[in-house]
Copies of this chain bind each other. A is one copy, B any other.
């Protein structure tokens, strides 16, 4: 790999001159600059970005912090962020906090110490001091925050929509799963659903779930049918949870959607591949990722930001774990 010395030699100038040209500092004659650029191209020289970022205090590196890469919702978010960052010439490195605050803090340090110029975080500690005085902008994704800009989907409307659709389709004894309460997005969708259920003429149970992870989903599914065997409609906290419930119901010989309706949340790619395909509330994960990336780029470029908190709409995806409206009992 070519070094700055090779470039200087080829251009017939000093290393200091090449450095001035590269960093746009100090005077470099236009002809000299041309010689240097020619040498850079011929040698395919790539300046060491760490050294340059120390000098110029600026890299093109962005950090993305995900809470759990095993939940397929987050890779979808990441793809939206990635594609947009790449279009704009930024580079993205990803950290997986694994729903663990210590890992989250450790990644924030790693990103900081490697001179990222911005961070998109979809983890759980949005209100902690972790995100204060980092020296670079932070945008929260699929999360809200009092201090920082954020991009998220409308959880209140999503929860309400899930409850409306399942009630409209005839469930009378509904179990509502309540996701982790430290997440405002989970709170919102729970609040939206429970408001709607309270105003409907149905019985319902609330069951808490410790997390949105895969490991907890299977336990929760078994518990649900043991505790609430009379349930004829489930509003799940996310699609992973809904998939586990669907699986457990079929294993117990419960007919879907005739005896039990299930509505998920997220619309992960595999939801359409389940059998029966999962009805769910779709969060536009890829678009959320894109919007968060665009917002962060605008902040980095010191553009005027009109809207610091961007809420995207959700939609009901009517597949086959819910009945048709006219079929309801």
Q: Which A residues are within 8 Å of any B CB, using their own CB?
A: 1, 46, 48-51, 53-54, 61, 69-70, 72, 75-76, 78-79, 82, 86, 91-96, 98, 103, 106-107, 109-110, 113-115, 133, 214, 218, 243-244, 246-247, 250, 269-270, 272-275, 277
Contact = CB atoms under 8 A, between A and B. Distances in A.
A244 B273 contact: yes
Given A61-B114, A103-B86, A93 B94 contact: yes
Given A50-B114, A273-B274, 20 more contacts: A1-B133, A46-B109, A49-B110, A50-B54, A50-B115, A54-B54, A70-B72, A70-B75, A70-B269, A72-B72, A82-B98, A91-B110, A93-B94, A218-B273, A244-B273, A246-B273, A246-B275, A247-B274, A247-B275, A270-B270
A69 B75 contact: yes
A51 B53 CA distance: 10
Contacts of A244: 273
B275 A275 contact: yes
A93 B64 CA distance: 10
A67 to B, nearest CB: 12
Residue from A92, A107, A109 having most chain B Cβ neighbours under 10 A: A92
Contacts of A72: 70, 72, 270
Q: Closest 7 A-B residue pairs measured CB to CB?
A: A49-B113, A93-B93, A94-B94, A69-B75, A247-B273, A91-B110, A70-B75
A109 to B, nearest CB: 7
A92 B94 CA distance: 9
Given A78-B69, A247-B273, A275-B250, A95 B96 contact: no
A211 B328 CA distance: 42
A49 to B, nearest CB: 4
A51 B218 CA distance: 46
